[in-house]
Amino acid sequence: MSADGRPVLQVADLEVHYGLRRRRRRVLHGVSLSVARGETVGVIGETGSGKSTFARAVLGLVRASGGRILIDGEDVSRYSARQWRALRRRGVVQYVFQDPLRSLDPDLPIEESLIEPLLVQGVGRKEAVERGRAYLARVRLDSELFGRLPGELSGGQRQRVAVARVLVTEPALIILDEPVSALDSANRVGILEILKELRDAGVALIFISHDLGSVAGVADRIAVLYQGEFVEVGDARAVISNPRHPYARLLVGSAPTLRSAAASRAERDALRALLHA
Amino acid sequence: MTRTRSDGTATATVPAARPADPPAGQPPAVPSPAVPSPAVPSPAVAPTTADPQSAAAPPAAQAPALTVRGVRIRDEVNDREIVHGVSFELRPGRAVGIVGESGSGKTLTCRAILGILPAHFAVSAGSIEIAGRDIAGLTTPQWTDLRGSTISAVFQDPASYLNPSLKVGVQIAEVIQVKSGLRRRAARRRALELLTAVHLRDPELVYDQYTFELSGGMLQRVLIATAIAADPQVLIADEATTALDVTVQAEILDLLADLRERNGLALVVVSHDLAVVAQVCDEVLVMREGEVVEHGPTADVLYHPRHEYTRLLIAEHEQYGLDRYLADSDSTTDPDPDPDPEADPHAGIGPVAGEQRKELDDVR
Amino acid sequence: MVRRVLALPAGRLAVGILSVIVLLAILGPTLAPHDPLGTSALTLAGPSWEHWLGTDYLGRDVFSRLLAGSRTSVLGSVEVALIALVVGVVPGILSVYFGQVFEWFTLRIADTLIALPFLIYAVAVTALLGNGIPQAMFTVGVLVSPLFYRVARASTLAVARSQYVEAALISGASIGWIARRHVWGKVLPPVAVALAQTIGIGFVVVSSLSFLGIGVQPPAPTWGGLLASDLGYLSYQPWAPAVPALLIMATVWGSNLLADAIRDVSGEAGRALLNSRRVRARRLDPAEPIPAGGVAP
């Protein structure tokens, strides 16, 4: 699926630490990943595995203590706050939050939230509204929702608005943090389909989740993050059908599927024992 | 409302082995909390692997622990009916699952059963019986008496149900003191037993910890321990594993299955995820917009979905879930002991192949 | 917001009382039938057609003095509230964004101001800056401002950690943008509550100060001043203090009612309250259909 040789995102040996001096602890260690245009990478990890920190580091919200991050070939690891703001205004990298209710200002009509990135860029209001409408159609939302408040929309509609909001700047890379976990089936499929379209249009996607199952259908590659390190990176099919690292095996074995959990309880217990050893 | 259940040891022929009723004629074994059923090939058995003898479920003759008949719930603010008639029956040691999206009325139904409907919501028709007792006319003291000792519940966000400034053990012990009238020391001992029963590694340590020191999975275990402290007959798990990591979710589901087998606890498992419900329950209700669109034994619902919405739920898993990959690489990754000869990845959506259907028909 | 406040009986009552007071403040001096400063030989007279509320110890018409005094009293309390608002809210919002040094200093200053007894301090400052209502009210306003600082800061903190602010940040928005677009709307309702409350406090303060003879140069009338002079002649006219006292009480009560009404209609609690009303209304009047739709009015 990957087109265009140059990766949108290159992360090499990323290190992130939190805290100071004696309370300093390592959150990410030697994390490397590169994402090409039109590629979808699933980053899977449990709570505290560092998956959110990874996203925040790429977005410049967390400072890396080592390693390099290249966005569109540009080394951003040493960027100043001003440089970051300029980069963000260009809208190359965008982020979709897990909970659309909290990521949209409850007191602003959909329209205002949707066109905010454009207004920040300095696009005139009239043009911004026009472009906003176009993207609302792209996520299959009626433009009559424009004047509504987020509270008046359903969860699925809200998440579509959140997706449309990041699309208005035509980003090259979108990081999605559990974008479908707060949604129910029908809406989940809707969002995943939109993501597939984006991928086909050449947008690179990083899909962050704790659940292998929610990523399986869209990811080309899967990276399993465990205790701040990528313990397994590979083709989605290979990782799911033939995981090697014990944690990856436990993940696959724990995911509930229609055909019952993939691993038996004894196997899961054995894997857990192995991990804790 | 309920379809005829498959009977006998049908599980081997049903694809992916859904739990079935125990063989007819099994003696009415009253489940004892202390003695695990000897037939349970411990500990590998999740209920989905449905060893026909493993279900501690007594035969259908035993009185239902929970009966819900045509329950309708109204929102009095907008004067709208939110739930349009839910009916099911739950016998001790069995599990019923309710699947549906947010706003489908599944949580309201649970709250109605527990008598804790939010303000301005009311049951407008139908009846609910807990252990043979109609809850319609219960007074507050009677409710207090019933909750915990007969029916109990765990919800999505465990931390918000525990007091952050008290040790968790003390909170469990308090429930025991109130519900079972035990003295402090005995209550502590019982609380430690319960913490062991929910598979916490170091119960003594956990007893003296505060909520912020425990992970989400551990907190959910603590809450389950609290919920079963007074030996209830029915436990409602409303999205109890939704906020947890997948690996932890598997542990909690295993735990619920365990409790069901060992203690004969009847479960109502509510989830937006069909797979979660399928893993634990023998019977599934699919709800949509307050309506029960599908109701039947799990295998039936999974392999012969009648309603479009149920098909959508199944298709979602098959297209976007792990099922997509696991279905065709079965031999390497699915260590399910049950043989699963013709794993047709689309068995759930399309009409079932002739041979398979014949098998299933034979089963019935 | 205004519509929702007016939907509550308490809100309507509060707005009614406060409108009357404001009208008094605007028109009072022109409505006064007599010269509020004009003395006459008729001292300490009872109510009559000529003098509706009688005359004071210098023979001045009490009703005219009340009307004339309302402007000073009301302006004074509004001044207190506005000064507190400006001095408190702006640093309150900025303390969240302007780094730790600014935060630390403004917090300590707020703590210090809270520790000072404002009435006594106002007395001291008038000694320095001269005896006048503006000086006294300025001091009081500054001393009350920590209330606004705290309120604004607390609600800004809640907003600053929210995801939509982070989303704006990721889009490259500046702090000014975020403050204007996202923070201001969330800080306003609690600040409005604090403002209504402070107007009430301001009224008591103006009245107390003029009762003590500070801030107002005699013979200029104020409600507190009237109360003070009436109290001196209690044995002659026991009922006289009741009128200015009632006016002061009504205004403070009106302000507090307004503060309560604003609190009741904003946020989660407001919606719950409105829902309860709707259900009750339906039970009383089942014939009338209630428009269906979301809970957010």
Q: Residues B37-72: pLDDT tens digits?
A: 334 333 333 344 334 444 444 444 578 899 999 999
Is the pLDDT higher at C156 or at B13?
C156
- Closest residue in chain C to residue B77, using alpha carbons only: C279
Which residues of A are less than 8 Å from C167 in CB distance?
A: 95, 97, 103-104, 165
Residues from chain A that touch B15, judged by Cβ atoms under 8 A, are: 259
By C-alpha distance, the chain A residue nearest B101 is A184
Residues 135 through 154 of chain A touching chain B, CB cutoff 8 Å: 154
* Rounded Cα gap, residues C215 and C270, in angstroms: 40
Does the distance separating the beta carbons of A88 and C171 come in below 8 Å? yes
What mean pLDDT do residues B199-226 have?
90
pLDDT for C237 equals 78
Pairing of strands B283-288, B291-297: antiparallel
Q: C290 vs B78: CB contact, 8 Å cut-off?
A: yes
Residue B100's pLDDT is 87
Residues of C in contact with B120 (CB under 8 A): 275-276, 279
Query: Is the pLDDT confidence value at B18 over 70?
Result: no
C174 vs A: CB within 8 A: yes
Is the minimum CB–CB distance between B120 and chain C shorter than 8 Å?
Answer: yes
Indicate if the pLDDT at residue B118 is higher than 90: no
Check residues C214 and B210 and name the one with the higher pLDDT: B210
User: What tokens appear for A180 in the block?
Assistant: 């479908």
- On the question of pLDDT at B355 being above 60, the answer is no
Stretch B180-197: mean pLDDT: 90
Q: How far is C217 from A108, CA to CA, in rounded Å? A: 50
Tell me which of A46, A180, A196, A258 to substitute to probe the interface with B (most B C-beta atoms closer than 10 Å). A258
DSSP per residue over A100-159, as a string?
Answer: HHHHS-TTS-HHHHHHHHHHHHT--HHHHHHHHHHHHHHTT--GGGGGS-GGGS-HHHHH
Residue C149 C-beta-side C-alpha neighbours within 13 Å? 22
For residues A262 and C41, the model is more confident at C41
Q: Do A258 and B49 touch (CB under 8 A)?
A: no
Q: Which residues of A touch C164 (CB under 8 A)?
A: 102-105, 113
Q: B358 at the C interface (CB within 8 A)?
A: no
Q: What contacts A9, CB < 8 A, 6 or more positions away?
A: A33, A34, A35, A58, A69, A70, A71, A93, A173, A204, A206
* Pairing assessment for the beta strands B121-130 and B66-75 based on DSSP bridges: antiparallel
- Out of A191-195, C38-42, C127-131, the most confident range is A191-195
The nearest CA of chain A is from the CA of C164 a distance in Å of 4
C186 interfaces chain A, CB cutoff of 8 Å: yes
Q: Residue B284 pLDDT > 90, yes or no?
A: yes
Q: What is the identity of the amino acid at B210?
A: Y
- Tell if the CB–CB gap between B76 and C282 is shorter than 8 Å: yes
DSSP string for residues in B57-70: PPPTTSPPSEEEEE
* Contact assessment for residue A239 and residue A248, using Cβ atoms and an 8 Å cutoff: yes
Upper half-sphere CA count for residue C50 (Cβ side, 13 Å) = 9
In chain B, the largest separation of any two C-alpha atoms, in whole Å, equals 63
What sign for the dihedral angle of Cα B44, B47, B50, B53? positive
| Residue C141 structure tokens | 């306003």
> Is B119 in Cβ contact with C278 (below 8 Å)?
no
Ramachandran quadrant class, B80 (left: phi over 0; alpha: psi -120 to 50; beta: rest): beta
Question: Got the DSSP string for B130-167?
Answer: ETTEE-TT--HHHHHHHBTTTEEEE-S-GGGGS-TTS-
Residue B350 has pLDDT above 80, yes or no: no
Give B-chain residues touching C279 at CB under 8 angstroms: 76-77, 120
A35: nearest Cα among A183, A207, A200:
A207
pLDDT at B266: 94
Strands A66-71 and A221-226: unpaired
The arithmetic mean of pLDDT across residues B176-181, rounded, is: 88
Please determine, for residue C109, whether its predicted confidence score (pLDDT) is greater than 70. Answer: yes
CB nearest to B79's CB, from C272, C276, C290: C290
In 3D space, the residue among A208, A188, A235, A234 whose CA is nearest the CA of residue A42 turns out to be A208
- In this complex, do C167 and A97 lie within 8 Å of one another by their Cβ atoms? yes
Could you say which residues from 67 to 86 on chain B have a Cβ atom under 8 Å away from some Cβ of chain A? none
Nearest residue of chain C to residue B79 (CA atoms):
C292
End-to-end CA distance of chain B: 17
Min Cα separation A244/chain B (Å): 11
Separation of alpha carbons B355 and B335, rounded Å: 24
CATH superfamily of the C2-35+52-270 domain: MetI-like (1.10.3720.10)
What are C49's two structure tokens?
A: 């057609």
Rounded Cα gap, residues A186 and B274, in angstroms: 12
Interface predicted TM-score (ipTM) of this complex, two decimals: 0.85
Q: What is the rounded CA–CA span in Å between residue B311 and residue B304?
A: 9
Average pLDDT over residues B312-319: 85
Whether C155 has a pLDDT exceeding 50, the answer reads: yes
Predicted confidence at residue C24, as pLDDT, reads: 85
Residues from chain B that touch C281, judged by Cβ atoms under 8 A, are: none
Nearest CB among C282, C292, C295 relative to B80 is that of C292
CB of B80 within 8 Å of any CB in chain C?
yes
Alpha helix segments (H runs only) across chain A:
51-58, 81-90, 100-103, 110-121, 125-138, 155-167, 185-200, 212-216, 236-241, 246-254, 265-276
- Chain centroid to CA B42: 20
pLDDT surpasses 50 at C129? yes
- Please judge whether B276 and A263 are an interchain contact, meaning their C-beta atoms are less than 8 angstroms apart: no
Cis peptide before C219 (omega within 30 of 0): yes
Q: Which of A20-29, B179-188, C270-279 has the lowest mean pLDDT?
A: C270-279
Is the per-residue pLDDT at C201 higher than 70?
A: yes
Chains adjacent to C (≥3 CB pairs closer than 8 angstroms): A, B
Q: Determine the pLDDT at residue B327.
A: 62
Q: Is B208 on the interface with A (CB under 8 A)?
A: no
pLDDT of A215 reads 85
State the best of B48, B106, B325, B329 to mutate against chain A, taking most chain A CBs within 10 Å. B325
Is C164 in the A-facing interface, judged by CB distances under 8 Å? yes
Q: Say yes or no for a CB contact (<8 Å) between C278 and B77.
A: yes
Site from B77, B81, B120, B121 to mutate, C interface, most C CB atoms within 10 angstroms? B77
- A127-136, C213-222, C284-293 — most confident range: A127-136
A266 contacts chain B (CB < 8 A): yes
Banded pLDDT at B330 (limits 50, 70, 90)? very low
pLDDT in tens, B138-150: 888 898 888 888 9
What is the pLDDT confidence band of residue B356, given thresholds at 50, 70 and 90?
Answer: very low
- Residue A120 has its nearest CB partner, among C171, C182, C296, at C171
Read off the tokens for C9: 């009986």
Q: From B41, which residue of chain A is nearest by alpha-carbon distance? A: A266
C292 pLDDT more than 50: no
φ and ψ of C61, to 5 deg: -70, 120
Mean pLDDT of B95-123: 89
Q: Is A104's CB within 8 Å of C169's CB?
A: no
Q: How far, in Å, CA of C297 to CA of C282, rounded? A: 17
pLDDT in tens for each of the 277 residues of chain A? 444 567 999 999 999 998 877 888 888 999 999 999 999 999 999 888 888 899 999 999 888 899 999 998 889 988 988 899 999 998 899 999 888 778 888 888 888 899 999 999 988 999 999 998 888 888 888 888 888 888 888 888 888 899 899 989 889 999 998 888 777 777 788 888 888 888 999 999 999 998 888 888 889 999 999 999 999 999 998 998 889 999 999 988 888 888 655 567 788 888 888 888 7
Min CA distance, C78 vs chain A (Å)?
29
Give whichever of A112-126, B21-35, C16-30, C225-239 has the largest mean pLDDT. A112-126
- The answer to whether residue C262 scores a pLDDT higher than 60 is yes
Q: Is residue B338 predicted with pLDDT exceeding 60? A: no
Residue C163: its chain A contacts at CB < 8 A? Answer: 97, 99, 102-103
The predicted structure's pLDDT at residue C114: 86
